[in-house]
Chains A and B, each alone.
Chain A
Amino acid sequence: MNEQTTIIRFEEIKKSFGKQSVLRGINLGIYQGESLVIIGRSGCGKSVLLKNLIGLFKPDSGRIFVDGRDVVPMNEKEMVSVRQKIGIVFQGGALFDSFTVEENVAFPLLEEKKKNGYTDAEIAERVTEVLDAVELHNQHNKMPSELSGGMKKRVALARAIIRKPEVIVYDEPTTGLDPIMTDSINKLINRMREKYGITSIVVTHDMKTVFSCADRVAMIHEGKIHTLDAPEKLRASADTIVHNFIEGISGDADVEF
Chain B
Amino acid sequence: MGIFMAETFVCLITRPLRVEQTVQQLYFVGVLSQFVVLVTGIFTGAVFAAQIQFQFAKLGMESATGSVATLAICRELGPVLTALMIAGRVGSAMAAELATMKISEQIDALRALAVYPVEYLIVPRYVAMMISLPLLVALAITGGIIAGYVVAVPLLGVDGPYYWDNINKFVEAKDIWIGLIKAFFFSIIIVTVACHKGLSSGSGAESVGKATTEAAVNASISVLIANFFFTLILLKFVFPT
Contact = CB atoms under 8 A, between A and B. Distances in A.
A90 B101 CA distance: 14
Contact of A90 (B100, B105, B114, B115): B105
Interface size class for chain A? 20 to 34
Interface in B85-117: 100-101, 104-106, 108-109, 111-116
A124 interface: no
A111 B114 contact: yes
Interface string A110-152: 0100000000000000000000000000000000000000000
B115 A94 contact: no
A95 B106 contact: yes
Contact of A94 (B105, B114, B116): B105
Contact of B108 (A76, A77, A90, A97): A90
Contacts of A94: 104-106, 108-109
Contacts, number: 45
A97 B104 contact: yes
A65 interface: no
B111 A76 contact: yes
Contacts of A79: 111, 114
Given A56-B111, A83-B111, A76 B105 contact: no
B111 A90 contact: no
Contacts of A107: 113
Interface residues of B, number: 13
Interface in A74-95: 76-77, 79-80, 83-84, 86, 88, 90, 92, 94-95
Contacts of A95: 106, 109
Interface string A96-115: 11000000000110010000
Contacts of A90: 105, 108-109, 112
A164 interface: no
B108 A56 contact: yes
A176 B114 CA distance: 28
Contacts of A96: 106, 109
Interface of B: 100-101, 104-106, 108-109, 111-116
18 contacts: A54-B111, A56-B108, A56-B112, A79-B114, A83-B111, A83-B112, A83-B113, A84-B114, A86-B112, A88-B112, A90-B108, A90-B112, A94-B104, A94-B108, A97-B101, A97-B104, A97-B106, A107-B113
Interface of A: 51, 54-56, 76-77, 79-80, 83-84, 86, 88, 90, 92, 94-97, 107-108, 111
